[in-house]
């Protein structure tokens, strides 16, 4: 059974719990993880210097490189035989990051995910179709275990086999869909292809979507086509997995379960702690992780944290959407461009579908190109005007990005579909640079 009461903690109580847990976890990490003792020694501090939340800025940052440098067991705070679960990243850009769990960690993670489902309006007895991938990726098992902890009925379809996914969604009258937002869009298209009308034939009420960035326009499209209420879920493997934060039915920011996570925003360039309400990089401290405590983990995600009480009654602070990542920001011709900005500009253009690809390459100067599919209904209508649509798309992109972008309009279905995270960005400049060096 999960801790339902923790959702409605008052802010004063949250602060008290955070302070007590932070003092304990700092001492725990210092005494049990050699990496943290080294970091504290280099900074010239000890746990005795951390006397309250106001001292959190004294604690050294932890980065993904720290996890890679200590692969696979170097950051453990417990003996290896106390670990009951490992997850890991793909390692496509180097050594994978490994995350470890004790039995207590698993109980905490299950509780956090159950809270996420509950806060989104899912109830015991709901039928949850989990189309996240199972395996080393934390998403599949995280969403699975959370549904079970809540008391919902889980349908573990995993990714792929889309025709069967849709058939089971119809046969079982699934009420909750858990998957990436791009796969939800794919499912809505495929349902029509296989002769289903999601609004008439399905019984979907709630969508639990995460693992990749998505826009408000994408949310509206999914809700309209699937007949559900779409909720953003935030997390990352290093922080258990999904379950750090979730949108309530107000859909006005993602509540961080702050009795387990202390969140800050910093200037990503300087590391300076920002005032409440300022946009910056999210930094998160895990307050009770046993296997591998993470102090002031730099997520690279850019956002604003809102500490005002939500209309839903919850006082857990809210992440007001992730606007981009400090490590996936594109610099094109000296201008900072986030993929999320491009998506927003495209989906504000009536007649453009949710499927697009960003291509950055270099001739003499950097060049930004965008391939975007035309909305199927608009494409097949008598009103379709390719030149007019192209003009509006370019104008919207220029207005938001302040740079010119080449736009290629594609027929519906022309871009490849994926069952996991969509590959939105293709930056060809690194390959071009390597070829020039050789």
Q: What is the per-residue DSSP string for 350-371?
A: TTEEEEEEEEEEESSSEEEEEE
- Assess whether the previous peptide bond of 72 is cis (omega < 30° from 0): yes
CB atoms within 10 A of CB 306: 17
Sort strands 425-427 and 352-362 into parallel, antiparallel or unpaired: parallel
Q: Is the pLDDT of residue 4 over 90?
A: no
- CA–CA distances in Å: residue 239 to residues 26, 72, 76, 87, 186: 16, 16, 14, 11, 28
384-395 pLDDT tens trace: 999 999 999 998
Quote the pLDDT of residue 391. Answer: 92
Of how many residues is the chain composed? Answer: 438
Tokens for 357, please give them.
């690809």
User: Average pLDDT in the 125-148 region?
Assistant: 96
Q: Is the pLDDT of residue 418 over 90?
A: no
Tokens for 3, please give them.
């801790």
Quote the pLDDT of residue 217. Answer: 81
* pTM > 0.85: yes or no: no
pLDDT-derived band at 35, boundaries 50, 70, 90: very high
Cβ atoms 19, 52 nearer than 8 A: yes
Q: Is the pLDDT of residue 205 over 90?
A: yes
Task: Report how far residue 236's alpha carbon sits from residue 97's, in angstroms, rounded to the nearest whole number.
Answer: 11
Task: Report how far residue 272's alpha carbon sits from residue 265's, in angstroms, rounded to the nearest whole number.
Answer: 9
**Looking at the domain 1-323, which fold is it?**
Rossmann fold (3.40.50)
Pick the CATH number of 330-437 from 3.40.50.1010, 3.30.300.30, 3.30.365.10, 3.40.50.720: 3.30.300.30
Quote the pLDDT of residue 172. Answer: 98
Cβ atoms 190, 196 nearer than 8 A: no
- Range(s) for CATH 3.40.50.12780 in the chain? 1-323
- Burial of residue 163 (number of CB atoms within 10 Å: 0-12, 13-18, 19+): exposed
Tokens for 74, please give them.
């170097």
Q: Is the dihedral of CA 256, 259, 260, 264 positive or negative?
A: positive
219-231 pLDDT tens trace: 999 999 999 999 9
pLDDT-derived band at 432, boundaries 50, 70, 90: low
- Range(s) for CATH 3.30.300.30 in the chain? 330-437
DSSP state of 244: E
C-alpha angle with apex 388: 383 to 392, nearest 5 degrees?
120
357-385 pLDDT tens trace: 999 887 656 788 999 999 988 999 999 99
145-195 pLDDT tens trace: 999 999 999 999 998 899 999 999 999 999 999 999 989 999 999 999 999
Q: Is the pLDDT of residue 212 over 90?
A: no
312-361 pLDDT tens trace: 999 999 999 887 776 666 777 667 777 777 887 888 899 998 889 999 88
267-300 pLDDT tens trace: 998 999 999 999 999 999 999 999 999 999 999 9
Cβ atoms 249, 307 nearer than 8 A: no
């Amino acid at each position: 059974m999960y801790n339902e009461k923790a959702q409605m903690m008052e802010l004063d109580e949250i602060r008290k719990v955070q302070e007590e847990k932070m003092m304990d976890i700092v001492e725990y990490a210092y005494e049990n993880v050699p990496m943290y003792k080294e970091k504290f020694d280099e900074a010239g501090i000890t746990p005795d210097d951390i006397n309250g939340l106001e001292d959190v800025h004294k604690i050294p940052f932890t980065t993904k490189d720290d996890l890679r440098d200590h692969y696979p067991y170097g950051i453990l705070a417990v003996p290896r035989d106390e670990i009951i679960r490992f997850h890991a990243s793909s390692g496509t850009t180097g050594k994978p990051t490994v995350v470890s769990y004790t039995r207590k960690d698993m109980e905490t993670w299950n509780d956090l995910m159950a809270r996420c489902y509950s806060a989104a309006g899912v109830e015991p007895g709901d039928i949850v179709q989990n189309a996240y991938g199972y395996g080393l990726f934390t998403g599949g098992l995280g969403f699975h275990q959370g549904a079970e902890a809540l008391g919902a009925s889980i349908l573990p379809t995993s990714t792929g086999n889309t025709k069967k996914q849709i058939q089971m969604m119809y046969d079982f009258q699934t009420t909750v869909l858990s998957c990436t937002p791009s796969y939800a869009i794919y499912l809505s298209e495929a349902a029509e292809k296989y002769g289903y009308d999601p609004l008439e034939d399905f019984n979907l009420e709630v969508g639990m979507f995460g693992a990749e960035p998505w826009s408000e326009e994408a949310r509206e499209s999914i809700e309209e086509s699937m007949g559900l209420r779409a909720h953003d879920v935030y997390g990352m493997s290093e922080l258990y997995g999904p379950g750090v934060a979730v949108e309530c039915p107000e859909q006005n920011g993602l509540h961080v379960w702050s009795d387990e996570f202390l969140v800050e925003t910093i200037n990503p360039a300087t590391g300076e702690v920002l005032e409440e309400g300022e946009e910056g990089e999210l930094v998160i401290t895990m307050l009770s992780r046993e296997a591998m405590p993470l102090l002031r983990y730099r997520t690279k995600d850019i956002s604003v944290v809102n500490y005002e009480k939500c209309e839903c009654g919850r006082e857990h602070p809210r992440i007001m959407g992730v606007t981009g990542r400090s490590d996936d920001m594109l610099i094109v011709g000296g201008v900072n461009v986030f993929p999320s900005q491009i998506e927003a500009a495209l989906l504000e253009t009536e007649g453009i579908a949710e499927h697009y690809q960003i291509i950055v390459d270099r001739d003499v100067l950097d060049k930004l190109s965008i391939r975007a599919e035309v909305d199927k209904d608009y494409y097949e209508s008598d009103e379709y005007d390719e030149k007019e649509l192209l003009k509006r798309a370019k104008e919207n992109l220029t207005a938001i990005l302040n740079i010119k972008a080449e736009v290629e309009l594609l027929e519906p279905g022309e871009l490849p579909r994926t069952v996991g995270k969509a590959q939105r960005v293709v930056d060809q400049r690194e390959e071009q640079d390597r070829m020039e060096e050789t």
